[in-house]
Amino acid sequence: MYFLTAKFCGDPGVPAQGKREGKSFIYQSEVSFICNLPFILVGSSTRICQADGTWSGSSPRCIEPTRTACENPGVPRHGSQNNTFGYQVGNVVQFQCKKGHLLHGSTTRTCLPDLTWSGIQPECIPHSCKQPETPSHANVAGMDLPSLGYTLIYTCQPGFFLAGGSEHRACRSDGTWTGKVPVCEGNLLCFLLQLPSITFYWFQNIGEGSQTSFGNAKSKTKW
């Protein structure tokens, strides 16, 4: 005789300044979220417990309607963050690691319209190989492969594609890397416009070139 055990997804939590409806956390259960006024919900307003024991969608947050920038994403230990243009929607921060460390995670992260960051927060991992040049808009993972040795594997972030360079680079005995620096190209603006947003966008042509402004009534980010 076989017994089926319902998948349990665990408590999905309740956002600060918000409420949750639904108390069942087993397979196919649905929970919904709302925010107390005047806060605005970003993330998933409804989540469903899936067969693999995880919740669909993303964790919701309740933010102030006047907020126009992402929070500081933080600086990895043994690393640095270049935030020259600040944390406004559409702006990109770049990460680097100190000598003797390799970057794992996202080389750059973009402030999205829902005021969250794209990509994965990077880590700086101690290693004897020299840090290769880090491409923008890429995620990096490192692993020891039997035939290649220590290898960095690159994937381009959503909205971008690999236009050149190498998808993986192996560390040679002299500390240099095989392959070429990967190049991730794409249209970040088109990707952002497809996302659920609490902002609106406008475009303007200036002079001979085209300049795009992106933001809300109180904040503009020029591209």
**What's the confidence (pLDDT) of residue 33?**
97
Between 188 and 218, the more confident residue is 188
CATH fold of 18-63:
Complement Module; domain 1 (2.10.70)
Q: How far apart are CA 30 and CA 21, in angstroms?
A: 9
Q: How far apart are CA 65 and CA 132, in angstroms?
A: 41
**What's the confidence (pLDDT) of residue 111?**
93
Q: Which of 87, 85, 89 is nearest to 201 (CA)?
A: 89
User: For 136-173, how does the pLDDT look when each residue is reduced to its tens digit (9 = 90+)?
Assistant: 999 999 999 888 899 999 999 988 999 999 999 999 98
Cα 79 to its chain centre, rounded Å, is 18
201 phi/psi in degrees, rounded to 5: -130, 155
**What's the confidence (pLDDT) of residue 139?**
96
Q: 79-188: same fold as 18-63?
A: yes
**What's the confidence (pLDDT) of residue 212?**
34
Q: Classify domain 79-188 by CATH number.
A: 2.10.70.10
Between 140 and 1, the more confident residue is 140
**pLDDT over 70 at 213, yes or no:** no
**What's the confidence (pLDDT) of residue 49?**
96
Q: Where are the domains of the chain?
A: 18-63, 79-188
Q: How far apart are CA 8 and CA 10, in angstroms?
A: 6
User: How many Cα atoms within 13 Å fall on the side-chain side of residue 79?
Assistant: 27
